[in-house]
Structure 1
């Protein structure tokens, strides 16, 4: 059953949002991904956010740039967790997106990850779901162990070949 909705305001956000999808796939979490502009098609957006709960979704990951209203508007309508991903922008480097998403009014929280933080958004969604899914929790623990082993392998390689050879 699909448990996570992934929505972005533009296809230019796809490389970042794909990282969230990749993590969810790796962890065996079903998701649905789409593109909706909260500003250009508010009726479509409203139906998306309003129907998410009845679809069985437990979390929405919403990525947006500049004014970045998509995550906050999802949180205003969808009663469960929303994770916002601020997109890097050419004009302000993503700070505009970050401030828009993180500075929500009292009563309408949006969990916010780093600018372009798609992978962490996917992990945060999985961790939220893992609070009631022991099998997913184990997959998350296994994933953390993989990360540890990757770092250990890199440290071992550095010790073996030295930094000059390592950076070639």
Structure 2
């Protein structure tokens, strides 16, 4: 309620599949309170109260809710059911009820085109709320600042934990003062070497890299990920979203990766397309406070290694993960996020979601 007594629509709606999920929801609530973002909370089952889910989502979308968070365990179809009735971004938080929560994780993340669910780690209600804050922060400087402050609090906690741990170690050979201070590699040192980034698709008429500040940076971790990256940028093209795309590995060329991230500091969000142990997403999150969408690729183990290393991020650094080999959904998710403030993108997005869902 505003100061004049008029009820205001919340920015975020949290929907629980069951009241038993409240412990996970509380993590999200605590974060949203810290970020000072208005929210609503409802309990509705995708299977037992499907009409309620539909009515809640449709009405909330028309009344200005910008992000939905679906929290559910077992056959967690709730986030997907939410995504079926809105063109706003949906975040899925799988809950560990059985089999370590893998059933809920797969049900949430493996959504068909064009109905993405930005899935975070199992039981990570906190990361779901931080991701929602990053989405709101794309167009809200105050929320963006609070998300940044929250990120810094996690950094400070690690520093304090290290200091406490060191004081408790009493080994005779333990060198407590070693590398207490260190210097990062300077930009001048980096400039001495040739860059190891490779621009791709420059000559294509339908897929091109833009030189001015793009809205989105698409980062395939290797050339084996390029085919999936094509699906991402083709979707961005259809939605009228500008982008940069570069193949660059943070493992093979970490210094150049950091330099590229500095060059992309003004983009709205990142989309990482990567297989195997998926260091690309983690490296982007480590070097930027911008929102990150992760696309796992199937290189080994049917892509499960990539999926799990992308989605199960520690507290404070979420990656909104889409299904294995579903780059098109990453493009749609980017459109849902950017379409909140851009009517042209929203128009194209609605056409894609509501008119061509059978593609």
| Normalised-by-shorter TM-score class | over 0.9
Residue of structure 1 aligned with 2:69, choices 61, 64, 76: 61
CA contact (8 A) 1:52 1:78 kept: no
- Distance in 2 separating the partners of 1:32 and 1:141: 23
- Distance in 2 separating the partners of 1:29 and 1:67: 29
- Distance in 2 separating the partners of 1:163 and 1:33: 49
1:141: Cα distance to partner? 1.1
Distance 1:151 1:42, change over 3 A: same
- Stretches (4+) displaced over 3 A: none
**Unmatched runs of 5 consecutive residues or more in structure 1:** none
The number of equivalent residue pairs is 163
1:161: Cα distance to partner? 2.4
TM-score, normalised to structure 1, is 0.93
Aligned CA RMSD, in angstroms, stands at 1.3
Matched, 1:151 2:166: no
Question: What are the superposed Cα offsets for residues 32-56 of structure 1, whole Å, 9 maximum, x if unpaired?
Answer: 0010112111221110111111221
Greater RCO, 1 or 2 (C-alpha within 8 Å, sep 6+): 1
Distance 1:44 1:158, change over 3 A: same
Matched, 1:52 2:60: yes
**Greater share of residues in helix:** 1
**Unmatched runs of 5 consecutive residues or more in structure 2:** 1-7, 172-359
1:25: Cα distance to partner? 0.6
Q: Which structure's CA Rg is the greater one?
A: 2
3-state SS in 1 of match to 2:100: coil
CA contact (8 A) 1:83 1:113 kept: yes
* Corresponding residue for residue 16 of structure 1: 24
- Distance in 2 separating the partners of 1:145 and 1:102: 28
After superposition, where does 1:1-168 map in structure 2 within 5 Å?
A: 1=8, 2-90=10-98, 92-162=99-169
TM-score, normalised to structure 2, is 0.44
Deviates more, 1:20-29 or 1:153-162: 153-162
Distance 1:117 1:163, change over 3 A: farther
CA contact (8 A) 1:65 1:89 kept: yes
